[in-house]
Amino acid sequence: MPRDSFNREIDYLRISVIDNCNLRCVYCMPLDGLRFLPKDELLTPAEIELVVRAAVSVGFRKFRLTGGEPTLRADLLEIVERLAAVPGLGDLALTTNGLLLPRLAMPLKEAGLKRINVHLDSLNPATVERQMRWGSFERVWEGIMAAEAAGLVPIKLNSVVAAGYNEAEVMDLARLTIERDWHVRWIELMPLGGGKCATLSIKRYVSNIETRRRIEAALGPMVEHESNNPYDEARNFKLPGARGVIGFISPVSEPYCATCNRMRLTADGKFHLCLLNDDEMDVRKAIRGGGGMEAVARILVRAVELKPTGHHLLEGRSTRERSMYQIGG
Protein backbone atom coordinates (compact mmCIF):
# COMPACT_ATOMS: atom_id res chain seq x y z
CA MET A 1 0.00 0.00 0.00
CA PRO A 2 1.51 3.37 -1.00
CA ARG A 3 2.31 5.97 1.67
CA ASP A 4 2.69 9.68 1.13
CA SER A 5 5.45 11.84 2.57
CA PHE A 6 3.40 12.28 5.76
CA ASN A 7 3.17 8.49 6.25
CA ARG A 8 -0.53 8.32 5.39
CA GLU A 9 -1.62 5.11 3.68
CA ILE A 10 -3.31 6.04 0.39
CA ASP A 11 -5.51 3.25 -0.97
CA TYR A 12 -8.71 4.97 -2.15
CA LEU A 13 -9.16 6.40 -5.66
CA ARG A 14 -12.17 8.54 -6.53
CA ILE A 15 -12.70 8.53 -10.30
CA SER A 16 -14.65 11.31 -12.00
CA VAL A 17 -16.03 9.92 -15.25
CA ILE A 18 -17.77 13.11 -16.48
CA ASP A 19 -17.96 16.79 -15.55
CA ASN A 20 -21.54 17.39 -16.73
CA CYS A 21 -24.57 17.12 -14.45
CA ASN A 22 -28.35 17.10 -14.80
CA LEU A 23 -28.76 19.27 -11.68
CA ARG A 24 -27.55 22.79 -10.94
CA CYS A 25 -27.16 22.87 -7.15
CA VAL A 26 -26.75 26.48 -6.05
CA TYR A 27 -23.39 25.87 -4.33
CA CYS A 28 -21.90 23.77 -7.13
CA MET A 29 -22.90 24.86 -10.65
CA PRO A 30 -24.18 28.15 -12.07
CA LEU A 31 -27.05 28.12 -14.54
CA ASP A 32 -25.00 29.58 -17.38
CA GLY A 33 -21.47 30.13 -18.61
CA LEU A 34 -20.45 26.48 -18.29
CA ARG A 35 -18.20 24.55 -20.65
CA PHE A 36 -18.02 20.78 -20.41
CA LEU A 37 -15.33 18.47 -21.71
CA PRO A 38 -15.81 17.14 -25.24
CA LYS A 39 -16.06 13.38 -25.44
CA ASP A 40 -12.53 12.89 -26.79
CA GLU A 41 -11.06 14.59 -23.71
CA LEU A 42 -12.79 12.18 -21.33
CA LEU A 43 -10.95 9.01 -20.38
CA THR A 44 -12.40 6.01 -22.21
CA PRO A 45 -13.60 2.88 -20.36
CA ALA A 46 -10.38 1.10 -21.39
CA GLU A 47 -8.24 3.98 -20.13
CA ILE A 48 -10.10 4.07 -16.81
CA GLU A 49 -9.60 0.33 -16.49
CA LEU A 50 -5.88 0.77 -17.15
CA VAL A 51 -5.61 3.35 -14.37
CA VAL A 52 -7.49 1.09 -11.95
CA ARG A 53 -5.31 -1.93 -12.80
CA ALA A 54 -2.24 0.23 -12.19
CA ALA A 55 -3.70 1.50 -8.92
CA VAL A 56 -4.45 -2.03 -7.71
CA SER A 57 -0.91 -3.08 -8.62
CA VAL A 58 0.53 -0.52 -6.18
CA GLY A 59 -1.92 -1.24 -3.36
CA PHE A 60 -5.14 0.71 -3.97
CA ARG A 61 -8.21 -1.29 -2.98
CA LYS A 62 -11.17 1.09 -2.78
CA PHE A 63 -12.69 2.87 -5.79
CA ARG A 64 -15.62 5.23 -6.25
CA LEU A 65 -17.10 6.57 -9.50
CA THR A 66 -18.20 10.20 -9.38
CA GLY A 67 -18.95 13.10 -11.73
CA GLY A 68 -20.43 15.63 -12.30
CA GLU A 69 -23.21 13.08 -12.54
CA PRO A 70 -21.72 9.69 -13.51
CA THR A 71 -25.01 8.20 -14.71
CA LEU A 72 -24.88 10.62 -17.66
CA ARG A 73 -22.07 8.50 -19.17
CA ALA A 74 -23.72 6.35 -21.83
CA ASP A 75 -20.98 3.75 -21.30
CA LEU A 76 -21.19 3.69 -17.49
CA LEU A 77 -22.23 0.03 -17.38
CA GLU A 78 -19.18 -0.89 -19.47
CA ILE A 79 -16.95 1.05 -17.07
CA VAL A 80 -18.43 -0.75 -14.05
CA GLU A 81 -18.14 -4.17 -15.73
CA ARG A 82 -14.49 -3.55 -16.62
CA LEU A 83 -13.54 -2.35 -13.13
CA ALA A 84 -15.49 -5.04 -11.28
CA ALA A 85 -13.49 -7.67 -13.17
CA VAL A 86 -10.08 -6.29 -12.13
CA PRO A 87 -8.34 -8.85 -9.87
CA GLY A 88 -7.58 -7.46 -6.42
CA LEU A 89 -10.16 -4.68 -6.51
CA GLY A 90 -11.73 -4.54 -3.08
CA ASP A 91 -14.66 -2.13 -3.25
CA LEU A 92 -16.48 -0.37 -6.08
CA ALA A 93 -19.07 2.29 -5.28
CA LEU A 94 -20.75 5.24 -7.00
CA THR A 95 -21.99 8.68 -6.00
CA THR A 96 -25.05 10.00 -7.84
CA ASN A 97 -27.99 12.37 -7.55
CA GLY A 98 -30.28 9.40 -8.14
CA LEU A 99 -32.35 10.85 -10.98
CA LEU A 100 -31.50 8.04 -13.42
CA LEU A 101 -31.36 5.19 -10.90
CA PRO A 102 -34.89 3.88 -11.53
CA ARG A 103 -33.65 2.36 -14.81
CA LEU A 104 -29.97 1.95 -13.92
CA ALA A 105 -29.88 0.59 -10.36
CA MET A 106 -30.39 -3.08 -11.20
CA PRO A 107 -28.13 -3.05 -14.30
CA LEU A 108 -25.40 -1.38 -12.22
CA LYS A 109 -25.72 -4.05 -9.54
CA GLU A 110 -25.57 -6.80 -12.16
CA ALA A 111 -22.49 -5.14 -13.71
CA GLY A 112 -20.66 -5.42 -10.38
CA LEU A 113 -21.32 -2.19 -8.49
CA LYS A 114 -21.45 -2.80 -4.73
CA ARG A 115 -22.66 0.37 -3.04
CA ILE A 116 -24.17 3.75 -3.77
CA ASN A 117 -24.29 7.25 -2.27
CA VAL A 118 -27.15 9.55 -3.24
CA HIS A 119 -27.08 13.32 -2.92
CA LEU A 120 -30.26 14.75 -1.37
CA ASP A 121 -30.35 18.07 0.48
CA SER A 122 -33.87 17.93 1.91
CA LEU A 123 -37.07 15.93 2.17
CA ASN A 124 -39.04 19.08 1.37
CA PRO A 125 -39.87 19.08 -2.37
CA ALA A 126 -39.93 22.88 -2.51
CA THR A 127 -36.47 23.12 -0.93
CA VAL A 128 -35.05 20.50 -3.30
CA GLU A 129 -36.38 22.44 -6.28
CA ARG A 130 -34.91 25.71 -4.97
CA GLN A 131 -31.55 24.41 -3.75
CA MET A 132 -30.72 21.55 -6.13
CA ARG A 133 -32.60 22.94 -9.18
CA TRP A 134 -33.51 21.00 -12.35
CA GLY A 135 -34.62 17.97 -10.34
CA SER A 136 -37.42 16.95 -8.02
CA PHE A 137 -37.62 15.22 -4.67
CA GLU A 138 -39.97 12.60 -6.09
CA ARG A 139 -37.51 11.57 -8.80
CA VAL A 140 -34.56 11.38 -6.40
CA TRP A 141 -36.61 9.36 -3.89
CA GLU A 142 -37.69 6.96 -6.62
CA GLY A 143 -34.01 6.46 -7.44
CA ILE A 144 -33.14 5.75 -3.80
CA MET A 145 -35.90 3.15 -3.60
CA ALA A 146 -34.63 1.53 -6.81
CA ALA A 147 -31.08 1.35 -5.43
CA GLU A 148 -32.26 -0.27 -2.21
CA ALA A 149 -34.39 -2.78 -4.12
CA ALA A 150 -31.38 -3.65 -6.29
CA GLY A 151 -29.25 -4.39 -3.23
CA LEU A 152 -26.89 -1.42 -3.54
CA VAL A 153 -26.65 -1.15 0.23
CA PRO A 154 -26.07 0.26 2.72
CA ILE A 155 -27.71 3.35 1.26
CA LYS A 156 -25.82 6.53 2.06
CA LEU A 157 -27.45 9.93 1.66
CA ASN A 158 -25.18 12.97 1.35
CA SER A 159 -26.66 16.36 2.22
CA VAL A 160 -25.10 19.81 1.98
CA VAL A 161 -26.44 22.44 4.36
CA ALA A 162 -26.69 26.01 3.09
CA ALA A 163 -27.93 28.88 5.25
CA GLY A 164 -31.24 30.26 4.04
CA TYR A 165 -32.06 27.05 2.19
CA ASN A 166 -32.26 23.83 4.21
CA GLU A 167 -30.63 24.35 7.61
CA ALA A 168 -33.99 24.25 9.42
CA GLU A 169 -34.91 20.90 7.82
CA VAL A 170 -31.91 18.73 8.78
CA MET A 171 -33.87 16.87 11.46
CA ASP A 172 -36.20 15.44 8.81
CA LEU A 173 -33.33 13.64 7.08
CA ALA A 174 -31.87 12.59 10.43
CA ARG A 175 -35.21 11.05 11.40
CA LEU A 176 -34.91 8.61 8.48
CA THR A 177 -32.20 6.73 10.37
CA ILE A 178 -34.60 5.74 13.15
CA GLU A 179 -36.50 3.25 11.00
CA ARG A 180 -34.08 2.71 8.10
CA ASP A 181 -30.62 1.15 8.08
CA TRP A 182 -29.22 4.10 6.16
CA HIS A 183 -26.24 6.41 6.63
CA VAL A 184 -27.32 10.06 6.44
CA ARG A 185 -24.35 12.43 6.26
CA TRP A 186 -23.99 16.20 6.24
CA ILE A 187 -21.14 17.79 4.31
CA GLU A 188 -19.98 21.33 5.03
CA LEU A 189 -19.85 23.82 2.18
CA MET A 190 -16.39 24.34 0.68
CA PRO A 191 -15.40 27.22 -1.63
CA LEU A 192 -13.98 25.63 -4.77
CA GLY A 193 -13.14 27.14 -8.13
CA GLY A 194 -13.88 30.77 -7.44
CA GLY A 195 -16.92 32.43 -9.04
CA LYS A 196 -20.49 32.77 -7.78
CA CYS A 197 -20.78 29.28 -6.32
CA ALA A 198 -17.60 29.66 -4.27
CA THR A 199 -18.86 33.02 -2.99
CA LEU A 200 -22.19 31.47 -2.05
CA SER A 201 -20.37 28.65 -0.25
CA ILE A 202 -18.65 31.20 1.97
CA LYS A 203 -21.74 33.32 2.61
CA ARG A 204 -24.07 30.37 3.20
CA TYR A 205 -21.66 28.21 5.21
CA VAL A 206 -23.19 26.34 8.16
CA SER A 207 -20.91 24.52 10.57
CA ASN A 208 -21.73 20.88 11.25
CA ILE A 209 -21.46 21.78 14.92
CA GLU A 210 -24.60 23.88 14.42
CA THR A 211 -26.26 21.16 12.33
CA ARG A 212 -25.68 18.58 15.06
CA ARG A 213 -27.15 20.95 17.65
CA ARG A 214 -30.28 21.39 15.55
CA ILE A 215 -30.74 17.64 15.21
CA GLU A 216 -30.24 16.98 18.91
CA ALA A 217 -32.57 19.82 19.88
CA ALA A 218 -35.32 18.21 17.82
CA LEU A 219 -34.63 14.49 18.26
CA GLY A 220 -32.62 14.14 21.46
CA PRO A 221 -28.95 13.51 22.22
CA MET A 222 -26.96 11.20 19.97
CA VAL A 223 -24.29 8.71 20.95
CA GLU A 224 -21.02 8.46 19.06
CA HIS A 225 -20.85 5.46 16.73
CA GLU A 226 -17.44 3.94 16.08
CA SER A 227 -16.79 3.31 12.39
CA ASN A 228 -15.09 0.13 11.22
CA ASN A 229 -13.18 2.29 8.74
CA PRO A 230 -10.21 4.08 10.35
CA TYR A 231 -10.12 6.49 7.39
CA ASP A 232 -13.81 7.42 7.52
CA GLU A 233 -14.05 11.14 6.82
CA ALA A 234 -17.30 11.32 8.79
CA ARG A 235 -17.70 11.59 12.53
CA ASN A 236 -20.58 9.20 13.16
CA PHE A 237 -23.44 9.12 15.66
CA LYS A 238 -26.68 7.28 16.28
CA LEU A 239 -29.98 8.41 17.70
CA PRO A 240 -31.19 6.23 20.61
CA GLY A 241 -32.73 3.04 19.21
CA ALA A 242 -32.02 4.04 15.60
CA ARG A 243 -31.16 1.47 12.94
CA GLY A 244 -29.10 3.85 10.83
CA VAL A 245 -26.14 6.17 11.30
CA ILE A 246 -25.79 9.96 11.21
CA GLY A 247 -22.48 11.33 9.97
CA PHE A 248 -20.83 14.74 9.82
CA ILE A 249 -18.14 15.45 7.23
CA SER A 250 -16.58 18.69 8.43
CA PRO A 251 -13.57 19.77 6.35
CA VAL A 252 -13.87 23.35 7.61
CA SER A 253 -14.83 23.08 11.28
CA GLU A 254 -13.11 19.75 12.04
CA PRO A 255 -10.52 18.98 9.31
CA TYR A 256 -9.60 15.33 8.87
CA CYS A 257 -6.56 15.82 6.62
CA ALA A 258 -4.32 13.80 8.94
CA THR A 259 -6.25 10.61 8.13
CA CYS A 260 -6.98 11.32 4.45
CA ASN A 261 -6.40 8.20 2.33
CA ARG A 262 -7.77 9.53 -0.97
CA MET A 263 -6.46 10.34 -4.39
CA ARG A 264 -8.66 11.73 -7.17
CA LEU A 265 -8.72 11.17 -10.92
CA THR A 266 -10.45 13.89 -12.93
CA ALA A 267 -12.58 13.11 -15.95
CA ASP A 268 -9.87 14.49 -18.25
CA GLY A 269 -7.22 12.22 -16.78
CA LYS A 270 -5.38 14.21 -14.10
CA PHE A 271 -4.47 12.92 -10.67
CA HIS A 272 -5.78 15.71 -8.42
CA LEU A 273 -3.61 15.46 -5.32
CA CYS A 274 -5.92 17.14 -2.80
CA LEU A 275 -9.54 18.21 -3.17
CA LEU A 276 -8.83 21.76 -1.95
CA ASN A 277 -5.52 22.35 -3.75
CA ASP A 278 -4.75 22.84 -7.44
CA ASP A 279 -1.82 20.40 -7.70
CA GLU A 280 -2.30 17.79 -10.46
CA MET A 281 -0.37 15.26 -12.51
CA ASP A 282 -1.35 14.35 -16.08
CA VAL A 283 -1.89 10.62 -16.63
CA ARG A 284 -3.98 10.86 -19.82
CA LYS A 285 -1.02 12.32 -21.67
CA ALA A 286 1.12 9.34 -20.65
CA ILE A 287 -1.54 6.82 -21.64
CA ARG A 288 -2.21 8.36 -25.04
CA GLY A 289 1.52 8.67 -25.59
CA GLY A 290 1.82 4.90 -25.42
CA GLY A 291 2.45 4.45 -21.71
CA GLY A 292 1.15 1.20 -20.22
CA MET A 293 0.30 0.06 -16.72
CA GLU A 294 3.83 0.50 -15.36
CA ALA A 295 3.99 4.10 -16.58
CA VAL A 296 0.61 4.89 -15.01
CA ALA A 297 1.65 3.21 -11.76
CA ARG A 298 4.83 5.34 -11.60
CA ILE A 299 2.82 8.53 -12.04
CA LEU A 300 0.33 7.48 -9.38
CA VAL A 301 3.06 6.60 -6.87
CA ARG A 302 4.70 9.96 -7.53
CA ALA A 303 1.33 11.71 -7.09
CA VAL A 304 0.92 9.99 -3.73
CA GLU A 305 4.41 11.12 -2.69
CA LEU A 306 3.53 14.72 -3.57
CA LYS A 307 0.12 14.73 -1.87
CA PRO A 308 -0.13 17.91 0.28
CA THR A 309 -0.45 17.65 4.05
CA GLY A 310 -3.83 19.36 3.98
CA HIS A 311 -5.92 22.28 2.83
CA HIS A 312 -5.55 26.00 3.55
CA LEU A 313 -9.18 27.06 3.96
CA LEU A 314 -8.55 28.84 7.23
CA GLU A 315 -5.92 30.93 5.43
CA GLY A 316 -8.46 31.85 2.76
CA ARG A 317 -6.96 29.61 0.06
CA SER A 318 -8.69 26.89 -1.96
CA THR A 319 -8.59 25.46 -5.45
CA ARG A 320 -9.06 28.12 -8.12
CA GLU A 321 -8.64 26.00 -11.24
CA ARG A 322 -11.48 23.55 -10.75
CA SER A 323 -14.95 23.52 -9.23
CA MET A 324 -16.41 20.55 -7.35
CA TYR A 325 -18.18 19.13 -10.42
CA GLN A 326 -14.81 19.05 -12.24
CA ILE A 327 -13.09 17.08 -9.47
CA GLY A 328 -15.69 14.60 -8.30
CA GLY A 329 -15.75 15.42 -4.60
In the predicted structure, residue 319 carries a pLDDT above the cut 70: no
* pLDDT of 323: 66
* pLDDT of 206: 94
Which one is predicted more confidently, 28 or 100? 100
* pLDDT of 325: 67
Q: Which domains does the chain have, with CATH numbers?
A: 12-326 (3.20.20.70)
In the predicted structure, residue 278 carries a pLDDT above the cut 80: no
Lowest-confidence range among 25-39, 144-158, 284-298, 299-313? Answer: 299-313
* pLDDT of 179: 96
SS (H, E, C) the chain: CCECCCCCECCEEEEECCCCCCCCCCCCCCCCCCCCCCHHHCCCHHHHHHHHHHHHHCCCCEEEEECCCHHHCCCHHHHHHHHHCCCCCCEEEEEECCCCHHHHHHHHHHHCCCEEEEECCCCCHHHHHHHCCCCCHHHHHHHHHHHHHHCCCCCEEEEECCCCCCHHHHHHHHHHHHHCCCEEEEECCCCCCCHHHHHHHHHCCCCHHHHHHHHHHHHCCCEECCCCCCCCCCEEEECCCCCCEEEEECCCCCCCHHHCCEEEECCCCEEECCCCCCCEEECHHHHHCCCCHHHHHHHHHHHHHCCCCCCEHHHCECCCCCCHHHCCC
Q: Which of 183-192, 208-217, 225-234 has the highest mean pLDDT?
A: 208-217
In the predicted structure, residue 313 carries a pLDDT above the cut 70: no
- How high is the mean pLDDT of the chain? 91
